[in-house]
Structure 1
Amino acid sequence: MADVEEIEVVVAHSERATLRAGDVFLKIDADQTRTDVEVEAMAMAPIPTPEVLWRKPPVLALAAVPGTALGCLGEPSVASTAAWAAVGAAVRMLHDAPLPPWPGQSLDAVTSRLDAECEWLVTNGVLPTDLVTRNREVAAAALRPWKPVFTHGDLQITHVFLDGDEVTGVIDWSEAGQGDALFDLAILTLGHEERLGDLIAGYGADVDLEVIRGWWSSRSLLAIRWLIEHGFDPFAPGCEVDVLKARM
């Protein structure tokens, strides 16, 4: 730490911030419950995760994981077919692991949030009514009872790191808990639908594509207001609004 020449702001908004100082990431979170979940989930996960260096609330210090991210939302993933399959195999290991002791979101809670966000998007003129209505219909396929598994809960493509075709680390576990396996697969391929087959090949199980599409729509509808209010752009090419338009 003493030799660090500059501090990089990885992400910062009113709820949390992540800074990088050399090979150390400093996560500052106003909600220590999220940090509790992150630390415990990383300790339980059977796949590579960042090393916890120290914790002094509200700061959690993590070692950087080696490798590069699987990709970025809005940009094509240059990772190989084998790399995507390796990620699928790692996700399957997570889903086959013992359940964490804390629950995830209930079906009723997800449905209620989704309906509220759809109403907000239409009432405030953020998106056309027909776009919201169509995607709410698509999302219905995901809103069914599921067998809970150990899920990451926010398995964005930028949260998975590889060295070549080997998974070297999965980061940002604050949303981990008991959840739907297909939710993780959907979030990982959001905006990268063409790589779903590669991911599933490594995952090694049949999946319901209608449910995956439902989670793509649900996740995008749920995220747009938060992204706008925190300074992000869901209208950028390849991002959440384009994901919704693809369902039309």
Structure 2
Amino acid sequence: MDKIQILRKISQTFFFIRATFVLGLYLNIVEFIGRFIFGIGKYTNIRIVIMILAIIAGRIFCGWMCPFGFLFDLVYQARVRISKLKKLPTMPEHIHNKLKYFKYFVLVLVVVLAYLFGTDIFLNSYMLAYLLLALFLVLGFIYPRFFCKYVCPVGALLSIFARFSIFQLKLNKNKCTGCRLCEFKCPMQIKIANVEKIDQMECIRCFECMSACRKKSLTFSPFFK
């Protein structure tokens, strides 16, 4: 594990502990979504900071700070170790390319439900929250970060800001050999090798691709460089 991945694990662990014990999240995925999107209570300032971060560096929150992202990383990495996989499992491409837009539908649905029934709907759904968390942990064991790729409305919201991020993941085609090791390690199933432009909206800045690249053909730098 290289230095950037060690730093990411430290960051994820810190924010997971902070979210579960200091902020009192207690792994309520429904409440977390409601508090983040609508800025309820103590999440208001955090939400603003994370949106600013998304404009600067993309979905860095998803890859480095989200407590649920940390859990989903653990479950798919457990499968990799148990099955000794060299390549992460992927959803069939034709399904993935359509399903990744489902999270935007979920985002709109969340906003509509909050408008019709009020934001309190997200604060009293503990049984539903735990059932959903269990379901997405199972799905995340099968397909890495299933929830983050296809369902998370917070990720959908941040991806809109990430589209215009200042710092972006870039590929140096002169160095790239097309081995696709970067794609094999990407939990978000993003096409990286031999593409005109890497999808900044889906990238969670986990930098697994950079760690996997033996030719150092990937960089994270300002878009104007």
Pick 1 or 2: higher relative contact order, CA cutoff 8 A, min separation 6.
2
The structure whose residues are more often strand, as a share, is 1
